């Protein structure tokens, strides 16, 4: 997998797309982003001190309904990296990585689908390492979570190595700790309490509310644990 290191870009997701015609697995990393974005088109603060990485991959024969495997793999790579430096990460469904109950990392997946299969995936990862989080609520750096100063370069290299390793859905579930607990589901204007029961392999979350089971899609709801 080719790796390209840059100083500053608007968005690493956009930058890595330039390599689509070559059909080669490629990673682009930048010291900072000037127009980083998260899910639902939210802006993503990307000052120096974090790892901002986007991987362009070409899954082999992956049906579109199984695209959640890409997101799950990215979350596992982040959790393995955080664990290697002494933090205790967990996954907040579907793909936020937390440490000490605060957000450590954001992941943005942009899939290209053709003929019912995932043609390519752009996997964007923004991992707080030693960047300033002033004014950002409920966020944490890996240095804080690990209780020691960490260099961006060391964490970046570990994250790339972990991303290159394989993972399973079971690995993803091993970092999910909220199942069986009460959660608040936010679905449009509606909010209700439920118990999180399981995560299906297609990425949907099963919750129990009023004795009934429901399968929820991350595209449709938000979750507060």
CATH top-level class of 182-224: mainly beta
Identify the CA nearest to 86 among candidates 71, 104, 74: 104
3-state secondary structure the chain: CEEEEEEEECCHHHHHHHHHHHCCCEEEEEEEECCCECHHHCECCCCECEEEEEEEECCCCCEHHHCHHHHHHHHHHHHHHHHHCCCCEEEECCCEEEECCEEEEEEEEEEEEECCEEEEEEEEEEEECCCCCCCCCCECCHHHHHCCCCCHHHHHHHHHHHHHCCCCHHHHHHCCCCCCCEEEEEECCEEEEEEEEEECCCCCEEEEECCEEEEECCCCCEEEC
CATH, range 2-174:
3.30.930.10
Question: Span 82-104, mean pLDDT?
Answer: 95
Question: Span 116-129, mean pLDDT?
Answer: 97
Which residue matches tokens 């793909």?
Answer: 95
- Residue 53, pLDDT above cutoff 80: yes
pLDDT at 219: 64
- Residue 101, pLDDT above cutoff 80: yes
Q: Which residues contact residue 216 at a Cβ distance below 8 angstroms, ignoring those fewer than 6 apart?
A: 185, 187, 204, 205, 206, 207
Question: Span 127-146, mean pLDDT?
Answer: 91
- CA 28 to CA 149: how far, in whole Å? 24
pLDDT at 107: 94
- Residue 131, pLDDT above cutoff 70: yes
Whole-number average pLDDT of the chain: 92
- Confidence band, pLDDT 50/70/90 cuts, at residue 188: confident
pLDDT at 147: 96
- Confidence band, pLDDT 50/70/90 cuts, at residue 135: confident
Q: Where exactly are the structural domains of the chain? A: 2-174, 182-224
pLDDT at 222: 73
Strands 102-114 and 205-209: unpaired
Question: Span 135-155, mean pLDDT?
Answer: 93
Question: Span 70-92, mean pLDDT?
Answer: 97
- Residue 139, pLDDT above cutoff 60: yes
- CA 176 to CA 15: how far, in whole Å? 31
pLDDT at 161: 98
More confident residue, 14 or 95: 14
pLDDT at 33: 82
pLDDT at 223: 76
- The pLDDT tens digits for 25-46 are 999 999 998 866 655 545 555 7
């Amino acid at each position: 997998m080719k790796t390209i290191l840059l100083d500053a870009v608007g968005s690493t997701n956009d930058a890595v797309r330039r390599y689509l015609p070559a059909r080669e697995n490629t990673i682009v990393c930048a010291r900072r982003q000037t127009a980083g974005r998260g899910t639902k088109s939210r802006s993503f603060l990307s000052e120096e001190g974090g790892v901002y990485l986007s991987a362009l991959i070409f899954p082999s024969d992956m049906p579109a309904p199984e695209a959640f495997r890409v997101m799950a793999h990215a979350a596992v790579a982040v959790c393995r990296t955080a664990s290697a430096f002494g933090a205790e990460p967990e996954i907040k469904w579907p793909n936020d990585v937390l440490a000490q109950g605060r957000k450590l990392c954001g992941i943005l997946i942009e899939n290209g689908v053709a003929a019912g299969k995932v043609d390519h995936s752009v996997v964007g990862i923004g991992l707080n390492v030693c960047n300033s989080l002033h004014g950002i609520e409920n966020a944490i750096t890996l240095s804080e979570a690990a209780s020691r100063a960490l260099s961006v370069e060391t964490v970046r290299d570990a994250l790339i190595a972990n991303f290159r390793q394989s993972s399973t859905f079971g690995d993803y579930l091993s970092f999910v700790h909220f199942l069986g607990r009460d959660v608040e589901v936010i679905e449009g204007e509606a909010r209700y309490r439920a118990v999180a029961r399981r995560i299906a392999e297609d990425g949907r979350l099963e919750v129990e509310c009023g004795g009934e089971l429901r399968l929820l899609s991350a595209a449709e709801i938000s979750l507060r644990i």
